[in-house]
Chains A and B, each alone.
Chain A
């Protein structure tokens, strides 16, 4: 319901003015709803502000209109004064503290003022403007208005006011009727609620009683069905619960125990308090030590509860170990109203523990025995190890001796050949020198005869000296002797080359030269058996122990010669294959069968007659080539045709063994 009901009476006829009036009315009509709904005062203030601003704008428009139309200045001034008055009044009220009563007053003021102003002042203005448009002057229009002063404006104002008040009274009636209806409805509701409340209380009470009973029964079942023997006593030490497990363990049925205070019967031959009794008494700290000595303690999980473990000889067949826990029961105020005690048969655990202890003791004894045995075995092992070490050292010594003896055997063989070679020239040179002495004697005799000039003696001496023969033989004798000594020198040189002391060190060596020097030494030995054919390709220097490689060459060359029964040939070849050098020593000897060939590198294996070979030559050669130099030593052989040994050595030294 609007506070200001607009109708056509308020139309001035000026279109712009009427539109603005309607907007003002709309703004005013927003207010009652806000006031009655107790809305936030800021919302009301906002509407009022908008109203004030819009009113100011509207007044300015009206005054501009009057000026434009050229209305009477006196009228214009009055009209503007009324406007200002209104604006001042509203601003003042706007800033006053806003109670709901004052807001209603404001609303009333606004509606009444606006109605009166439109009907009076604004309508008069519109009429004057209309007249001036019709041709009247400002003064005439104003005069015409002055005549109307006492009539229909007032009447229409009164009529408007009347209709306003009618609307208000209607609205009040409707409100009071609504109120009455509401009040009766509230009374009805209250009555119904009271009734339903009463019913609810009754049912809740019933339900609570039922639940309590159920809970008690449930609790009794829980305790009774618990496999842990459990008993409960009240504040007077009377038994209230004695579950089946408890009856079983004690042999005392619940019906005999519940209600009595003979809980001690289960555990002790005579009356004494059990742990639950002490808890109910609250005399824990005093009596616990008396009854339970030191084997009790406070529970770690439940406050005020105690645990203990003890042996009860009366229980069961052979007595029983029980682990028991007692806890106080308190009411809502924390007062102790009883105690609950649970018992656990830990006899099995105790027995197991005892068995475990026994077993452990037995084990410890066993361990001790074993330790002694082991220590003894250890000592024995250490002794054996020491013996083995000693044995090993002896074996090593023996091996060293064997190696030495093999070396000596090889050298002996060599020495025999060399001796022969040296003894031959020494033999004839020596003999020649003897003859030279004779020749010299004869010649000196001849010279003596010449000096003496004794022709008879001269002739005799000439005959004795056989000068013609001497002339021919003497140069031959000297040449042969010279040659013999040269040969000895060469053999000595070869020997020196072969056994150069510095070749025992690892170095880069020309192995072709080493092979040739070895061959020179061994040639004396093998020349009676074989012709040696050399086919050596130029080789790069090889990083190795030349003395050891020489030993291998010597072994292989001597073996080759020995493999030849009558007379044959030995081929010595060398070459390079990528990063390896190779040597081949091939003979046209008897060759080997497969079973012999497989064993030739075994130590002490020999096909030579006893005393001829140590059986170590090839084994040592293999050791030197393969293990010490990282090369390879292979053999191919055909019985009746001969054998060929092939050595391959890497150009860079690769040691396969720990020491050279």
Chain B
């Protein structure tokens, strides 16, 4: 089961996408991806969701009142770097596209109005790619473990780091204390 988070300020868009994804089979090659779709009209709420649960794919509109799609995906990437990212926008602005590619590394830019089949295959492709990456890493970790390049502790630390970025990292204060929230220091 793949989890997808979709953000668009337009509720009707979200509803139609839910309809589409509920029914249509998302497949790539011989893989089929049963989907669990979470939607929200608010980018801030979407980020909250991203903190709470793992997602395989973020799909975002570009023009939104609170923040634009590139900003949202940047923030989401910081939370879940391994998740794939798509932009679905009716705003065909070259600058927006450039930013999306260069700053966020999106998988696809899909224009509104979209073609259902293209959208589904793009989602399938992104998920397959994501699975492939994940599988690739697992295999590489396995090889490194066997060759003694990495200890099991290190691998576990990396796994934890993927789940919760920064959890294995400790900020030491100048007095030897452990700084839990570096922002507090900055405010002083």
Contact = CB atoms under 8 A, between A and B. Distances in A.
Interface of A: 416, 419-432, 434-435, 438, 473, 476-477, 480, 483-484, 527-528, 567
Nearest to A434: B116
Nearest to B62: A420
Contacts of B111: 423
A431 B90 contact: no
B63 A427 contact: no
B99 interface: no
Contacts of A477: 15-16, 19
Interface string B113-143: 1101000000000000000000000000000
Contact of B91 (A419, A434, A567): A419
Contact of A430 (B91, B93, B113): B113
The 9 tightest CB contacts between A and B, nearest first, are A423-B90, A427-B113, A427-B112, A428-B16, A423-B112, A431-B16, A426-B113, A420-B91, A420-B90
A236 to B, nearest CB: 128
18 contacts: A416-B91, A419-B90, A419-B91, A420-B63, A421-B90, A423-B91, A426-B113, A427-B16, A427-B112, A430-B116, A435-B16, A435-B23, A473-B19, A477-B15, A480-B16, A483-B12, A484-B12, A527-B65
Contacts of B91: 416, 419-420, 423
Given A420-B89, A427-B112, 8 more contacts: A422-B90, A426-B112, A427-B13, A428-B15, A430-B114, A431-B19, A480-B15, A480-B16
Nearest to A435: B19
A431 B114 contact: yes
A435 B20 contact: yes
A419 B91 CA distance: 7
Contacts of B20: 431, 434-435
B92 A431 contact: no
Contacts of A434: 20, 116
B17 interface: yes
B10 interface: yes
Interface string B75-109: 00000000000000111110000000000000000
Contacts of A424: 10, 12-13, 90, 112
Contact of B13 (A419, A421, A428): A428
Nearest to B15: A480
Nearest to A432: B16
A528 B64 contact: yes
Nearest to A487: B12
Please indicate which of the listed interface residues B20, B65, B112 has the most CB atoms of chain A within 10 Å of its own CB.
B112
B16 A567 contact: no
A431 B116 contact: yes
B112 A416 contact: no
A431 B15 CA distance: 10
Contacts of B13: 424, 427-428
A425 B23 contact: no
A424 B16 CA distance: 11
A480 B13 CA distance: 9
Please indicate which of the listed interface residues B10, B16, B65, B89 has the most CB atoms of chain A within 10 Å of its own CB.
B16
Given A427-B114, A428-B10, A435-B23, A419 B16 contact: no
Given A434-B116, A435-B20, A528-B63, A428 B90 contact: no
Contacts of B16: 427-429, 431-432, 435, 477, 480
A478 to B, nearest CB: 12
Interface string B4-26: 00000010110111011001000
Contacts of B23: 435, 438
A165 B116 CA distance: 188
B93 A416 contact: yes
Contacts of A473: 19
Contact of A423 (B12, B64, B65, B113): B113
A427 B59 CA distance: 15
A476 B10 CA distance: 15
B63 to A, nearest CB: 6
A428 B93 CA distance: 20
Contacts of A435: 16, 19-20, 23
A333 to B, nearest CB: 128
A477 B89 CA distance: 21
A528 B90 contact: no
Contacts of A428: 10, 12-13, 15-17, 113
A477 B19 CA distance: 9
Contacts of A421: 90
Please indicate which of the listed interface residues A422, A425, A483 has the most CB atoms of chain B within 10 Å of its own CB.
A425
B37 to A, nearest CB: 14
B93 A425 contact: no
A567 B43 CA distance: 15
B65 A528 contact: yes
Contact of A431 (B17, B64, B65): B17
A432 B10 CA distance: 14
Contacts of A528: 63-65
Contacts of A527: 65
Nearest to B64: A528
